[in-house]
Every structure is written in structure tokens, then in C-alpha cells.
Structure 1
Amino acid sequence: MKLLIPTEGSFGYKVMCLVLAGLYAWFLMGLDIDGYIDRANYLIYAQHSDEIFVMYAASSLKTILTNEPVWLLFNIWASKHFTPEDTLRVIIFFSSFIISFLVLRSYPKYAFFLILFILMPQVLKNNIIHLRQGVGISLFFLGWWCRYLPLRIFFIALAPLVHASFFFINALFLLNIAFSTFSISTVWRVIYTLGVGVVFGALGIWLADALGARQGESAEYSGMGAGGSGLAFLFWVVFTVIFFMEGKTYLRNNFFAASILVFYLSTYFLLPVTARVFESGMLVVLLASLGLTDWRRYAAYSLYAFYFCMQWYPVLGLPGFGWAAESTL
């Protein structure tokens, strides 16, 4: 499995990435702290994570491990040093800066598209309303791009202890390590990934409930499938077809990204949390697609532009771009 190692940009480009990432993070940190969906919930974490941690710890070890203990521990630490509002600001700045800087510096040749990626609503909202997921992504990316193996393992292993979607992402990551270790053919990789997707899709919420994870008990996740109109499913089917048409060599080098696509499509109608899982790995998919060649590259560019516009168009005139808390409407 090929890791996404950043290409070497010039010193000036790296400075530009630092400045842009800093401005990006500073802007997001400066947004109205309680003016967006779920911010009230995050303020509760910033104040009462010690009580929540004790509640989970009193239940069982598996319960505490499946309920994002590192997220709780960070909030407990932050509550000793910051106000709840400042805790959220620290979280937003840290995650948005790390994600944007690592993405922007990854492939200088594609700087325009890298900026497009971090401005996509599905990426941006992880630093506005899904703050825990944003921290999880930043930790995963720190590990993903780390050249020192122990630190790579540490950060990647830490991610699901901040956001549970990374239990799925890390399972796919380990599956891809097995594929590479045993030189599994591309066809069998797809078959195995589909099988894993169907199993997780059918049993994922039951397993979460059995392990004591809060998602297993939530009414939000009690239904079937990802919901929505199915347009996202059709869009990513087209994207996946283009991805797979690049050929076996490309797929073998980028099958982790391909497996995220296959997992998402195979669980779309089965697993209620599949959209959140996909959002945790979407940047990996987008970055891998920059390696497409010939007409497939231009098809991907067109899909980027279409996806960007279709996500932003419905929300441009809405308060908080559709993410405003009810109290601010």
C-alpha cells in the first residue's frame, strides 16, 4: 500500500501553506462560538467531560474505549486551563490548522484543487459543527503523513479514541496492510472489501450497542441506511467507476482510498453512520484522485467542480450557511 507522502515544495510554498492554514484556522476559530449546530453540546463536553468519563469508566473497559476517551480526556485537561468557550476555540484552531496545512503542502502542483478540497462543505463542517470528527481527522492525518513508524502508529491508533468513525477507517487501513503483505489481487481486494462492508453494514449498530458505544443507543442511528435522496450514492458511483478505470497499478498503489469508496457504497443502504465514516476518509479519496491520468483526470476535475457547486449552492443564502443553531435563526 502506497502512503501519501508529500512532495517537496519550495520554501516559499511551505511558508504560503503555513500562512493560508493559519488564516483558515483563525477565521474558523473566530466564528460565533455558540451560533452553530451542536456547539451547545460541545460546550457541555468542555464543562462536564470528567463526569461523562467517570460514568463510562464505571460501566466497563469496553464502554470507555468505544466512547471516545481521548476526546473526553482532552476536554478534562482543557477545562483546567481554559473557559469552555476557549476550549472550543483551541479545538477548532488545532484541527483546522493541522488538516489544512497538511493538505495544502501535500501536492504543490495541485494547489488550486487542494484549496478547493478544504473549502468543500463536507470538509469545512468538521471544523464548524462536527468538531470531534475534525480532531479525529487531524490526528489520523498526522499519522498518515508521519515518516517515523512508531508515531504513525500512535496517531492513527489515537484517532478512533477521539471519533468512533475511525474504527471503520482503521479497519480498512489494516485490511489494506494485509492486502499488501499477502499480495492479494485487485479483484479479491474488492471482493473482500465488499464483504467487510456488508458485514459491518448489517451488524455495525448492533455491535456498537453490544460494546456500549453511545451510537448503538442513539435514536439518530436506529434506522437503516445513510438516508438522503440517493444522489450522493449516484455521484460516488460515477467517481468510483472513473477511479477504477485508471488501471491495476494505480489501484494497487491507492487501494486504501478505493476501499473507502467501496465500503461507503456497500454500506450506503445498510449503515446509518456510513456518511460520517466516509467524511472521515473523503480527503484521502480526493487526494488519491489527483493521481488520475488522461481523460480520467479531467473527468475528476469536472466532478470536483460539480460537487463543490452543488454543495454550496443550496446553503449560500442561509444563516450560518445552513449550520446556524436554532437560537440564532
Structure 2
Amino acid sequence: MFKELFAKKQHDTNLRTKRNIYLLFSILIGLLLIFPEDITWARDRLSYLEYASSSWTIMQRYINSGIFSFFSNEPLFLTINIILSSFLVPENVVKCIIFTSTIGVLYSLGKITKYNFLILLFFLLVPQVVKNHVIHLRQGLALSIYLLGLVSNKKYGGLLRCLSIFIHTSFVFLILFEFLEIILKRVKFTFTVRILLSSIFLTIFIQAIPVLASLFEDRRAQAYDFTMAEGSSGLGFLAWLFVGSLFILVTKKDYINTITCYGILFYLMSYFLLDFSARIFENIIPLILIGVLSIQSKYTRTLFIMFFILYSSLIWYLSGFSFLI
């Protein structure tokens, strides 16, 4: 008995030490991303400086356009900018958003994966992850709120995840996947049947997206073509068709992994139909990393890790920093 208590105490001590080291590196990564002093080196930063200085004007414009326009154009992100700009200069507002979203994402992913240091590596290595804390800052902030919702208690977790929609509307799809899982599981369908039914539903939903975007007066309704993204070769589709199918087959069928499976299905089904499907899939990739690190088979887990390293390295090799600046 004393031996078991000692072992448990030692395990808890080791976990706390691991957590503290992990969080220290998370803070260092957050600090790294807010340098250099001139924040305009990265693409889209001028737009975020405008948000920091003119959010109240932008919000009034959406309010005057109607209730749908107001709620579908990220009012919470505008509100955060209004609050921060009341005591920070625009440059520091942007830095604050970068730093807090980075810490929020890394803390949440760490808590779910028991502070696995590979999360820190993948955060910097996977382009679709790190860029949301360099150029697509609104999406990165929304991701941090959503993930914090996943690790929060049931009372506040759902609220936080829903609030992410009002920072970046792409998270409405993750909430949709959650509702889909709740409904299908309540009927007590097996995982295979849930995958089949969700595929049918998502196919229909994808066709309705252009109409819904116009109905809710989302500002991107006119910006997107709702066709295959220019420059897409289909190689991404083939890669994720193979890897995504393997993920669906081998991962534990818990809540997060099932939501992730729906996200993979959505990406594959919308790849040739929606030019912004990759932006939505960026929200799924951190969840895929969670699932990969929870795979019991060391061989299979290593296979997925090698895929992410090769996949990310290839993107960096082909594009360099061109997608950031």
C-alpha cells in the first residue's frame, strides 16, 4: 500500500514538473511569435492593426446592416479589440492577441495530451497550425477559445466553444459536428452508422452553404467562389483520403476523435466544392494531433508522426515563408 502511494506521489510530481517545463516553453514560443518589434512583417497584420484602431466603427457598420450582419461577422472579436484598444496601442493589441491565443492553444493541447512535448514541435512545424498565430490571428484566437472549452468543465466548456463562432465563423462547422454527434449518439447508433449518416447529412449541408452564407449576410459570401480553390492540385485530397481513412479506422472512438472524424469527412467531401474548405480543416488539424498522440500502437503512432513531419517539411520546402509574408 505504501509503495503504491509513493509511486502515485512520484508520478504526480513528475507530471507537475513536466507540465511546468511544457508551460515554460509555451511562454517562450508565445514571446517568439510577438517579435520582432515591427509586427507588419507578416501578411494581414495591417488588417489587424485596423481592427485594433477601428473596431467600434466596423461594429457600428454591421449593426446598421441588421441583426444577421452583426452576429455573423465576429462581434466578439471586435469587442475584444475595443476593450484592448482602450488601454493598449494598436501594435500591442495585436501582440496581446498573438501571445494569449498561442498560450491558450498550447495549454489546452498540453492538458489533453498530458503535456506531450511533441505538441510544441508540431505547433511550430505544421504550417496550418503556426500560421494561425502569425497571419490568421482571428482564427488562432478562436481556436484557443474552442480548445479551452474542450478542457473546461461541462458548465462553461460548451459556452466557450460556442463563443468561438463569434470570433471566427469557421468554428460554426465544429459546433455543427458536435451537435451531429450528440444527436446520432443519443439515438444509440454505432460508430459506423454515425459515420455513414453524417456523410449523407454533410453532403447535403455543403450544397446549402452558399445560400446560408448569403442569408446570414456573412461578409465572405461575395468573397468566395464556392468552387475548388485556385492552385489546388488534388494531392492534398489524396494524402488526407489515405491518412484520414486510417485515422478513422485506428483511433479510439471518444468524443474528440469522433468530432475529428466528421471534420475529416467534411474536408474530403468539400475539397472540390468549397474554396475555403482548407481554412475549416485547419481547425481540425490540432484535434487530429490529439488523436494521433493517443493511439496505443507505437508503430501506428510513429507512422502518423512521420507523416506529419514529412507533410509539413514538404510544404515548408515548396513554399518557404511565402504564405506568411
Check whether TM > 0.5. Answer: yes
- Secondary structure class of the residue paired with 2:41: coil
Q: Unpaired segments of 5 or more residues in structure 1?
A: 1-6
Q: 2:277 and 2:290 mapped to 1: Cα distance?
A: 20
Q: 1:216 aligns with which of 221, 230, 247?
A: 221
Number of the residue aligned with 1:251? 253
Asked if the contact 2:135/2:324 (under 8 Å) is kept, the reply is no
**CA RMSD between the two structures:** 1.9
Measured in 2, the distance between the counterparts of 1:108 and 1:189 equals: 29
> Which of residues 292, 297, 300 in structure 2 aligns to 1:296?
300
CA contact (8 A) 1:242 1:296 kept: no
Provide TM-score, normalisation by structure 2. Answer: 0.89
- Specify the alignment match of 1:61 in structure 2: 67
Write the distance in 2 (CA, Å) between the matches of 1:116 and 1:178: 36
Greater Cα shift, 131-140 or 202-211: 202-211
Distance (whole Å) between structure 2 residues aligned to residue 284 and residue 114 of structure 1: 11
Contact 1:68–1:162 (CA under 8 A) maintained in structure 2: yes
Q: How does 1:218-297 map to 2 (within 5 A)?
A: 218=223, 221-227=224-230, 228-246=232-250, 250-251=252-253, 254-294=257-297, 295-297=299-301
Counterpart of 1:161 in structure 2 is 166
Give, in whole Å, the separation in 2 of the partners of 1:166 and 1:215.
15
Q: Deviations over 1:163-211 (max 9, x none)?
A: 0100111100111122222221222211222123222322212211111
- Does 2:80 correspond to 1:77? no
Match of 2:54 in 1: 48
Contact 1:251/1:258, CA 8 A, preserved across alignment:
no
Name the TM-score, length of structure 1 as normaliser.
0.88
- From 115, 133, 140, the equivalent of 1:134 is 140
Q: CA deviation at 1:108?
A: 4.1
Give 2:317's match in structure 1, choosing from 297, 313, 317: 313
> C-alpha distance in 2, partners of 1:42/1:190?
39
Q: Which runs of 5+ in 2 are unaligned?
A: 1-10
- Whole-angstrom distance in 1 between the partners of 2:158 and 2:109: 20
Task: Output one character per residue of 1:196-243: Cα deviation in whole Å (capped at 9) or x when no partner.
Answer: 32223222122111110011121xx12402441111111111112211
1:133/1:162 contact within 8 Å kept: yes
Q: Do structure 1's residue 101 and structure 2's residue 104 form an aligned pair?
A: no
Aligned to 2:29: 24
Percent identity of paired positions between Structure 1 and Structure 2: 28
Aligned to 2:322: 322
Equivalents in 2 of 1:191, 1:239: separation in Å? 18
The answer (yes or no) to whether the contact 2:30–2:102 under 8 Å persists in 1 is yes
Instruction: Describe the superposition over 1:143-181 as per-residue Cα deviations: whole angstroms up to 9, x where unpaired.
Output: 0111x2221022101000000100111100111122222
Paired with 2:70 and 2:142, the residues of 1 have a C-alpha distance of 17
Moved more, 40-49 or 253-262: 253-262
From 181, 187, 196, give the equivalent of 1:191: 196
Which runs of at least 4 in structure 1 moved beyond 4 Å after TM superposition? Answer: none
8 Å CA contact retained: 1:136, 1:159: yes
Letter in 1 for 2:89: T
